[in-house]
């Protein structure tokens, strides 16, 4: 099973990716997570993409596609995988089709108001990456991860100016992928504006 999770930032892709991964035993590949780790570790890639990410802009297609191609060559993806946050442009989707055969694209539908409220309240564990929300999904102890006791932090690009920029970029560059995959008969819509449980019910039915 080879899946793409498509949708605006804040639509719940990361939260749902963790649930799909657990239920269907397939690895989730998040280009955003790979870039964030590179920034944290100050690798040459991280130094290159840090500013781009902070502003909420997109890393160049070539850099991103090479990274995904390499990742899909690794052993753990043999029985399937899920791409979260890739592709994000038509050239990325075209490039992907030259090295992978996708079965289903899940299109997360969620209003702008909901995504803005989710992104501005999002908190992430610095150690294990678990995602929380200050009101919708709070940790038991403020600022501390329930699972590993890691420190929770706010992503630099979850500040309001970057959020607005990311949503505009989504509309201009990523939304055209909805028609791209619809034309290939791969697209399945889900309403991701409610709880993760409700989103998972729809996804289970599709899969």
- Active-site residues: which are they? 13, 88, 122, 155, 166
Query: Is the Cβ of residue 84 or residue 187 nearer to ligand AMP in the bound state?
Result: 84
45 scored as a contact of ligand AMP (CB under 6 A): no
Residue choice 64, 95, 107, 192 for contact with ligand AMP (CB under 6 A): 64
Torsion of CA 151, 35, 170, 101, to 10 degrees: -120
Strands, E assignment, 50-191: 81-84, 104-109, 122-125, 131-133, 152-153, 187-191
Q: Give the number of other Cβ atoms within 10 Å of residue 57's Cβ.
A: 15
**Does the protein bind ligand AMP through residue 53 (CB under 6 A)?**
yes
8 Å CB contact between 101 and 191 = no
Q: Nearest-CB residue to ligand AMP?
A: 32
Residue 56 binds ligand AMP, judged by CB under 6 A = yes
Q: Which residues contact 192 (CB under 8 A, 6 or more apart)?
A: 7, 11, 12, 16, 108, 109, 110, 199
Q: Which residue has the tokens 């269907």?
A: 24
Nearer to ligand AMP, 40 or 141 (CB): 40
Interacting positions 76-135 with ligand AMP (CB under 6 A): 85-88, 92
Number of residues that bind ligand AMP (CB under 6 A): 18
Residue from 58, 153, 167 nearest 116 by CA: 167
Nearest-Å Rg of the Cα atoms of the chain is 16
Under the binding rule (CB under 6 A), the answer on residue 139 touching ligand AMP is no
Residues 154-173 that bind ligand AMP (CB under 6 A): 157, 166
- Among positions 32, 132, 187, 203, the unique one binding ligand AMP when judged by CB under 6 A: 32
- Output the smallest distance, CB 112 to ligand AMP, in A: 16
Tell me how far apart the alpha carbons of residues 4 and 83 are, in angstroms, rounded to a whole number: 5
Beta carbon nearer to ligand AMP, 43 or 149? 43
* Interacting residues toward ligand AMP by CB under 6 A: 9, 31-32, 35, 52-53, 56-59, 64, 85-88, 92, 157, 166
């Amino acid at each position: 099973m080879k899946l793409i999770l498509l949708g605006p930032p804040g639509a719940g892709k990361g939260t749902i990716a963790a649930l799909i991964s657990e239920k269907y035993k397939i690895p989730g590949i998040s280009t955003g997570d790979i870039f964030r780790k590179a920034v944290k570790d100050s690798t040459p890639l991280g130094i290159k993409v840090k500013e781009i990410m902070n502003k909420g802009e997109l890393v160049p297609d070539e850099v991103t596609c090479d990274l995904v191609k390499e990742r899909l060559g690794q052993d753990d993806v043999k029985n399937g995988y899920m791409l979260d946050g890739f592709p994000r442009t038509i050239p990325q989707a075209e490039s992907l089709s030259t090295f992978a055969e996708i079965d289903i694209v899940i299109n997360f539908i969620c209003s702008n108001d909901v995504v803005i409220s989710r992104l501005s309240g999002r908190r992430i564990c610095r150690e294990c990456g678990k995602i929380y929300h200050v009101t919708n999904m709070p940790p038991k102890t403020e600022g501390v991860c329930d699972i590993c006791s890691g420190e929770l932090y706010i992503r630099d690009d979850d500040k309001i100016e970057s959020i607005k920029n990311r949503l505009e970029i989504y509309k201009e560059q990523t939304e055209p992928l909805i028609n791209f995959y619809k034309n290939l008969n791969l697209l399945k819509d889900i309403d991701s504006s409610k709880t993760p449980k409700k989103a998972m019910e729809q996804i289970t039915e599709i899969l």
